[in-house]
Structure 1
């Protein structure tokens, strides 16, 4: 497993893609409201990226047909955008990879559609907290297991399920590079973190404590096995000498 360390110039290129992605998420946040469809959000994203001289990397990736993954409620990941109108109280996750001049950045965010219930709020806050707990461990000299353990602890303390098959990863000119970055782990185990690594950290949790999921027949859409709500937060970050820098904030 060769980890591809990036130069400062290469990290700057990923940051350029990441800043476009972050700006796109800020615009999506303004669109999220009861009555909009994820199809409409997907069309907006494609137009927005085109206006920035960027492209949606996952469109066409292994046959995936859309610019975004759009996952509503019990769909935890890789949902297809569609004509279903969002309703007050829904959770919708928009996940995308932006390509700018051959360099990639990846970020997902779970959005509240209007006000959500207390359980949904607990899930969202826990998952976002776990993301930043993981980022806090992305230090030179630490190991991938330190990130996973930090994410896992937040979930366990909140009684939330971890979707273990879905993990973070390295990223650069390819969407998925070594190392894998699971959302669970043992401290001081796994690949050693070094300056120049660029990774995603992306906790994906469910309200159901097991975090068990199944795949739909389309081969992409992943749902919680017990029908409980799912949430997904993800940033791309670079590990520098003095610690992690988020490239998609």
Structure 2
């Protein structure tokens, strides 16, 4: 069931979203060559505690998962597309890193992700990151009353595929509000003019997951959570939580 939120609820989601934005800022600042992924998790934990928020990721267990997620954030490196667990791996110069995080505050959730290069940035990696960020921006621009969900999905797909990239199989965003994952699903592939009509009050997370090789196939790794490109190519991932309003889309997970 799709739930539509009031302006008062948008503001409560905005408060949670600001915590998410601060986590992403703090973790990105700490992500340098030689830093273990566990330190990024510790940074996120401190920021959550500072703002009296909790992570909807920690202990989350969907039906397909072999065990509850063990961390506050996901940290996915290079070929890992999503759900990477922040373990003792040490960041290397030139790694492409995605940090995905959520926050729950006052009964409402925010969810966002960012990809970036650690240390030295290569041209191909920078282009992948920039294209994925642009796919998110193009999709957000389509999230206006009267458009359809397919307009949002198509904007992601067209931006990625026109640049020669792939879309991770089955990837996409979701509704969000008092729970991190709500209806409707927001696929990263679709056709313009198709799908449910967008209405004021809908709050969704849009999240392009783009693969460098142009191939879509993914595989779940041995930890049961991390999803990687099947061919070992790199991937990037950007996400924002937004509210659809009469004045256009409003990003709820920005500083």
Q: 2:123 aligns with which of 118, 127, 152?
A: 118
Within the alignment, does 1:147 sit opposite 2:146 as a pair?
Answer: no
Task: For 1:208 and 1:20, locate their aligned partners in 2 and report how far apart those are by CA, in whole Å.
Answer: 34
Q: Aligned to 1:86, which of 91, 101, 104?
A: 91
How many residue pairs get aligned? The number is: 248
8 Å contact 1:201–1:236 — kept in the other structure? yes
Partner residue, 1:56: 55
Q: How does 1:45-194 map to 2 (within 5 A)?
A: 45-62=44-61, 63-194=68-199
For the residue of structure 2 that corresponds to 1:61, the secondary structure is coil
How well do the aligned residues superpose, as a CA RMSD in angstroms?
Answer: 0.9
Residue-by-residue CA offset, 1:149-181 (whole Å, 9 max, x unaligned): 111111111000111311100000111111111
The alignment partner of 2:25 has SS state of helix
CA contact (8 A) 1:18 1:236 kept: yes
Report the equivalent of 2:64: none
Q: CA deviation at 1:74?
A: 0.3
- Structure 1 unaligned segments of length 5 or more: list them: none
Q: Contact 1:164 / 1:184 at 8 angstroms: preserved in 2?
A: no
Partner in structure 2 of residue 240 of structure 1: 245
Mean Cα deviation higher: 18-27 or 66-75: 18-27
Q: Residues 182-236 of structure 1: CA distance to partner in whole angstroms, max 9, x if unpaired?
A: 1111011111111000001100011111121001132211000000001000000
* Contact 1:32 1:111 survives alignment (8 Å): no
Give the corresponding residue for 2:22: 23
2:24–2:101 contact (8 Å) kept in structure 1: no
Cα separation, 2, equivalents of 1:121 and 1:217: 29
* 1:208 alignment counterpart: 213
The CA deviation at 1:136 is 0.5
